[in-house]
Structure 1
Amino acid sequence: MTTLTNLRPAPVIDETARLLTEHYVFPDVAEQLAALLRRRLAEGAYDVDDAEELARLVTADLQSVNNDRHLRLKHHADQVPPKRGAATLDAMRRDFDTSLGGAPRVELLDGQVAVVELAPMLFPLEWAAEPLTAALTLASRARALIVDLRTNRGGDPDTVAFACSYLLDERTHLNSMYWREGERTEQSWSLPHVPGARFGGSKPLYVLTGETTFSAAEELAYDLQQLGRAVVVGEPTRGGAHPCNGWTVHPHLEATVPVGRAVNPVSGTNWEGTGVRPDIACAAADALDRAHELALARLAD
């Protein structure tokens, strides 16, 4: 338990409301949510002395209007650095160092079907380029490939494009991102050249998903699915298509506010709220075996 020692909930709510109105990608929803938070504060709904409980209550209200899973008041057991996003970055680095750089598993199954697990997230490209190159280059010689995203909780869109570049033959428009700041749109494309060897764009490719697959991991699955490049196997994903920034609003609380939204060039929309819907639906625990069966059948043909 982390208490709000010497601090009332009101300043946390006021700062969170301010961040919403200044940065949230949907300004009209931001106004509704800011008003909701202030009304709930006045009603005494946030009269708690535990930071984790306050985070739970505020997050429920933040997600009550449009169910945006990236919109949260996030509790940290350790004290949050005051710099924007520093808490997330510190935790991310610890995960990177203990997961072989985000590629904890590369395995060759029967029939020369490779499995590359990308978890627990798609780390910033300046960190992840080397381990991803090693993993995907090693898998490039396989006859079919399974990319396991079942426990991947998101990450860097640039890393999504980098990974896709190993799975396609030509430079391809993958996604577009609309940013509230400047009301600008940026396109994301696969790279014309990659370090290492490509698996390429013609051999069988399967992507595994689960209910915890989120954010950038969903983009990786969604981009490849919409291009017709991969068969998605498993469970529907969580449904978060809005990149966000984090701001420290209390020594143990971080407000994460989406500042952009994805627009896929094929579908014209994204996976927000709905998740990525698998082509082959099955329990996440069974997805690897199911994808392996599909790959062997395809190769036999």
Structure 2
Amino acid sequence: MPHTEEIIEQALHHIGTGYVFPEKAERIGIAIRRRRADGAYDGLDGPALCAAVTADLQEVCPDKHMRLLWSAEPLSLEPEDQDAGRAAFLALLRSENQGVRRVETLDDGVAVVRITYIPGTDEGAPAMGAAMQLAAGSTALVLDLRSCRGGMPEGAAMWCSYFFPDDQTHLNDIHDGPTGTTRQYWTAGHLPAPRYLDRPVYILTSALTFSGGEDVAYTLQAHGRATLVGETTRGGAHPTVRHTLTEHIQVTVPIARTVNTVTGGNWEGVGVTPDLPAPADQALETALKALATRTASAASASSAS
């Protein structure tokens, strides 16, 4: 394995040239080099080095997407293989049914869709559409994102699109730091299953919900289209790239930032706060109780009129 100093300098180079907030990159470099000079990383093996540098990176700059990652399996150092991480993630999505792990209709007609990843739209749209087709006749919908660990922004926009009537809702923007460009995300005009309108939507969250899962939760909450139930999420809002430093170490660099069109901000470092706080293992029960109360109130109001 290359010398620790070489690994750290390579990581800081990628952070310095790619981080979405260049003014913070300089401060990060100063702090990490100071820690190295103080001997904080002396004698650490690969996994321990990654853990220590990551902790220091996030202490200086609390961006949970900025990390050194250790891979037990050897990584390719060939330039043409630098997209291997994306290929591996696509393979993971295929093995996880594009993140749609379970669709269930409860006895009271409420549909529950469990999502573990947010896929891209090219391969993920059919699975998302199949889930929403199964949920189309339900009285209310629960999206279970408690185990959702990330995904792709275009897939998050497609999931959100099911809960709006057309393609006229501007969801959020992603500003790319290195290029200075901005990509807008709007609701989709055409979907492979019926839209889910005029019925309650609840989203379950946990302290493990991250990145793409947080995108769906935050966006639907901000636009008033869903009620969030559970725990505050992990707080990772910045799209990243991975750079391979050695056969076992990569650095992940956040190169962009998400800006919601309603709030003007995002969930980076703070997480998404639920409307109805509850322990993660009680979130579904809490959501169903809230839904029952909501249904009873609506029935009472209807009979009174």
TM range (shorter): over 0.9
What corresponds to 1:231 in structure 2? 227
- Please list every run of 5 or more consecutive structure 1 residues that lacks an aligned counterpart in the other structure: none
What corresponds to 1:131 in structure 2? 127
Residue 65 (structure 1) aligned to one of 60, 63, 68: 60
Partner Cα distance (1:24, 1:163) in 2: 28
Does 2:290 match 1:294? Answer: yes
Partner Cα distance (1:209, 1:183) in 2: 32
Q: Can you list the C-alpha shifts for 1:202-258, whole angstroms capped at 9, x where unaligned? A: 210000100010111111000000110000000000111111110101111110000
What corresponds to 1:56 in structure 2? 51
Q: Quick one: percent identity of the two aligned structures?
A: 40
Partner Cα distance (1:81, 1:285) in 2: 40
Q: CA RMSD in A?
A: 1.4
Residue 187 (structure 2) aligned to one of 187, 190, 201: 190
Residue 161 (structure 1) aligned to one of 157, 170, 175: 157
List aligned pairs for 1:234-253, cutoff 5 A: 234-253=230-249
The letter of the residue matching 2:286 is R
Partner Cα distance (2:44, 2:59) in 1: 23
Does 2:214 match 1:218? Answer: yes
Residues 1:191 and 1:88: Cα distance change in structure 2 (over 3 Å): closer
Partner Cα distance (1:58, 1:286) in 2: 35
What is the deviation of 1:173?
0.8
Q: Is contact 1:215-1:241 (8 Å) kept?
A: yes
- State the 4+ residue runs in structure 1 displaced beyond 4 angstroms: none
Partner Cα distance (1:76, 1:93) in 2: 18
Q: Can you list the C-alpha shifts for 1:255-279, whole angstroms capped at 9, x where unaligned? A: 0000011111111111111110000
Residue 141 (structure 2) aligned to one of 145, 156, 163: 145
Partner Cα distance (1:224, 1:143) in 2: 18
Number of positions where the alignment pairs a residue of Structure 1 with one of Structure 2? 293
Does 2:99 match 1:98? Answer: no
The letter of the residue matching 2:253 is V
Partner Cα distance (1:177, 1:230) in 2: 22
Q: Is contact 1:137-1:199 (8 Å) kept?
A: no
Q: Is contact 2:230-2:282 (8 Å) kept?
A: yes
What is the deviation of 1:73?
0.4
TM-score normalized by the length of structure 2: 0.92
Residues 1:237 and 1:276: Cα distance change in structure 2 (over 3 Å): same
What is the deviation of 1:94?
4.5
What is the deviation of 1:62?
0.9
- Please list every run of 5 or more consecutive structure 2 residues that lacks an aligned counterpart in the other structure: 299-305
Q: Is contact 1:215-1:240 (8 Å) kept?
A: yes
What corresponds to 1:273 in structure 2? 269
Partner Cα distance (1:146, 1:190) in 2: 20
Q: Is contact 1:175-1:264 (8 Å) kept?
A: yes
